[in-house]
Amino acid sequence: MNDKVHSCSFCGAQQAPETPLIAGIEGHICEACVGLAHQVISSWGRARALTGPLKSPPKPIEIKEHLDRYIIGQEAAKETLSVAVYNHYKRLAVEASNPKRSLEDDDRVEIDKSNILLLGPSGTGKTLLASTLARIVGVPFVIADATTLTQAGYVGEDVESILARLLDAANGNREVAEWGMVYIDEVDKLARQGETAHGTRDVSGEGVQQALLKLVEGTQVKLGGKGRKDGSEPALIDTRNILFVVGGAFAGLEQVLKRRRNEGGFGIGFHAEPASDDSAEKRDPDLYRETHPDDLRQFGLIPEFIGRFPVIVGLHDLDEAALVRILTEPKNALVRQYQQLFKFEGVALEFTTDALAAIAHKAIERGTGARGLRSVLESLLQRPMFQLPSLEGVLSCRVGVEAVLGVGEVEWCYAECEAEGETEGARAEAGA
């Protein structure tokens, strides 16, 4: 009988009842070294799979410049997201190129992720920020809707379906999916509602917040083949390095913020100041930037969920000048889109400066932010677009402020008008 005490060939740990060793032909290895070897090999797989995206990770300034092409204003939100994406890339590159290779390598600082919460009124660009980031990042990116999520066991999608979509975005590569990004929209709809009037459970509110806790913080989730595109076998996903960004309009949070700041008449009795009807006009554009975690708790989010999102970014309302810039400046500006539609018919579409300002003012009155611009343009140009295919000899269409206000019509310029204008100009030059 061989009573020789063996030791691990890697770390030197001696064999004991609490430290079993796996025997090889000429050596032994302990459980800790097996786990470390698995970690190193996994990092090699990530490094091979992520060679393309990590060749030239964009810098924060470059990411913001790309966002500026599509999004007007919201400078603080764009800077925060640019830094978050850059840090995500940087952590990705460091972990892939220099994994932990020994048990004594404890002096390295491990960088944790900082999940982000975007909040602000409807139509301020939260979803557009996320969808634009999807074009920039080289890691898998998924946009999910919180309104479709329910607790496990109820009709609807559970939170694990988000990871299944992320795995599909990574083409089934688990190592790449574990470095991805997830944006969950309409998270304010998960606010705690309690028991409803019919006594039914709030299966799409607080229960979903609790289900998202471990997923957002970092855990290992086993995904089944259900819902997967390829119908493959179950996969184990580690969410510790997945960056989560959530956003919502948080309608009603403004009253909570004003109450904390003692704004508006909240007194009781004869000395109470009546609330003004023009509160919308006097709205503080930076109000949402002063949101505290306690304000979100009063809104209906549970403290555990709020603590998982240390970075809170408040988006401000868009004023008339910002809406005018949104109409004309972005790469896919609405004015450019409609000009392209008219160009298909061989007609140039023009807007006066006063008309653009009137369109922005109408969108503000509707209270839907930048989304209201398209509805205003649709109602304004519906009649011209209906007539245009049947008209002949039209060269341009000019939209003035009278047409926007409904006291006039758009101006059509035909080939005859332009010819007469050239003839009059020639006569004026000859007379001079």
Q: What are phi and psi of 5, to 5 degrees?
A: -90, 120
Cα angle for residues 258, 264, 267 (degrees, 5° grid): 110
Q: What are phi and psi of 119, to 5 degrees?
A: -140, 145
Which are the contacts of 151, defined by CB distance < 8 A and separation ≥ 6?
Answer: 158, 203, 204, 207, 208, 211
Domain 320-431 in CATH 1.10.8.60? The answer is yes
How is residue 308 written in tokens? 């998982």
What does the longest C-alpha to C-alpha distance in the chain come to? 124
413 carries a ligand binding annotation: no
Contact assessment for residue 371 and residue 127, using Cβ atoms and an 8 Å cutoff = no
- Break the chain into its structural domains and give their ranges: 1-49, 54-100+111-192+201-265+279-317, 320-431
Q: How many CB atoms lie within 10 A of CB 362?
A: 19
- 174: helix, strand or coil: helix
Contact assessment for residue 143 and residue 336, using Cβ atoms and an 8 Å cutoff = no
| Digitized pLDDT (tens) for each residue of the chain, 432 residues in all | 456 778 898 888 888 888 888 888 888 899 888 888 877 776 665 555 555 555 566 889 999 999 998 888 889 889 988 998 888 778 777 776 666 555 555 566 777 788 999 998 888 888 888 888 877 877 788 988 888 887 665 656 778 888 999 999 888 888 888 888 899 998 988 886 544 444 444 555 788 888 888 889 888 888 875 545 555 667 888 898 888 999 998 888 888 888 887 754 445 555 555 554 444 444 566 778 888 889 999 888 999 999 999 988 888 888 899 999 999 998 889 999 999 999 999 999 999 999 999 999 999 998 888 888 999 999 999 999 999 999 988 999 999 999 999 999 999 998 766 555 554 454 445 444
CATH T-level assignment (fold) for domain 54-100+111-192+201-265+279-317: Rossmann fold (3.40.50)
Please provide the size of the chain in residues: 432
397 carries a ligand binding annotation: no
The H or E element that residue 30 is part of is strand 28-30
Model's pTM, two decimal places? 0.71
